[in-house]
Amino acid sequence: MTLGTSVQPLDVPAQCYTSSGGEVFLRGHVTMNPVPTVGGQLIAIVPQNPTGTCYCSPPQYSVIGTTTALSYPPGGSLGTPDVCIIRVTLSKDVPADVNQDGVINQFDIDAITNFVGPCNGPTLDPCGRPDVNKDGLVDTLDKVAVQQSAFGQNVSCGALYATAFSCGSTRANPVAATNGISLDTIEFLNNVGLNPTIARRTSAELTVMFGRLSQLEERTEHLEVSEKTHVKETQELKKEADSLLQNTLAVRDASTVYQTGQKTVYINVAVSAVAVLVCSIMVLVLRRRVNA
């Protein structure tokens, strides 16, 4: 991930990962210097792959979380540092991209310069996008916020922002750099919560498994009423039921981590039904052995 102008890497570079199940998570430790006196600051730009896909971006919402950092007294690292709680936001809506053209550049500064006030509207954001640091004013600090974000960079996939700082007992913005801002706590699912390919595969597998379960139940009922059933035939049926149970458990383990609601119930019902069927066949095997 490309870092903001006022952000430097530490021991773990800022990176974004995705899983096949639709999970997105960030990793990294960075330092911000200087820290804005008001408002937030851009930490890193969300990447895109060579085809232009924003694979780490929440497409329809913003992800808001908290993380930690340390702020040492000005003039060096001697003394006791303050622990900072930082609110972070990951979103395609980048405050420094004032004109929303996907690039932070001079046009955004010009939009601030050309803003015609005053900021006295009835909304929570009366100045609109030109008020980049959201202090209720459109002034030089907003231009500085743009320049210290990621000037000249493409931010069409969005960015990770530090939107608020609470350091030490005063709970104020730090007067020095914030060291070791951790990105490790930022994890979320994509907009559907499950990769569509996995969703389709899981549905198809469940359909097949319920079909096999129905066939096994019919064969078990036939064996229970048949007087000429051999133990070998019953044991073969048990092996097939065992195989179905293992497949069903595998689908559950691979899928239910990312599923909620009705699909999860279907998988749990399938596992329970196959387990009951296996137990019934085991009883049948024992009965046939006793009668043999």
Phi, psi at 214, each rounded to 5°: -65, -40
Q: What is the mean pLDDT of the chain?
A: 75
Q: Encode pLDDT of 71-118 as tens digits.
A: 877 655 566 788 888 889 998 889 999 999 999 999 999 999 998 777
pLDDT for position 111: 93
CATH topology of domain 196-291: Methane Monooxygenase Hydroxylase; Chain G, domain 1 (1.20.58)
CB 187 within 8 A of CB 23: yes
CB 178 within 8 A of CB 81: no
How far apart are alpha carbons 174 and 50 in whole angstroms?
38
How far apart are alpha carbons 75 and 213 in whole angstroms?
72
Alpha helices in 186-261 (DSSP H): 196-225, 231-255
The residue extents of the domains of the chain are 2-189, 196-291
Nearest to 192 by CA among 59, 38, 2, 37: 59
Q: Encode pLDDT of 185-209 as tens digits.
A: 888 876 555 445 555 545 556 566 6
Environment class of residue 271 by beta-carbon count within 10 Å: exposed (0-12), middle (13-18) or buried (19+)? Answer: middle
36 is written with which tokens?
């804005």
Asked if the model's pLDDT at residue 250 lies above 50, the reply is yes
Average pLDDT rounded to a whole number, residues 139-157: 90
Average pLDDT rounded to a whole number, residues 232-261: 59
- When mean pLDDT is compared across 217-231, 254-268, 277-291, the lowest value belongs to 254-268
Pseudo-torsion of CA 104, 110, 112, 113, nearest 10°? Answer: 160
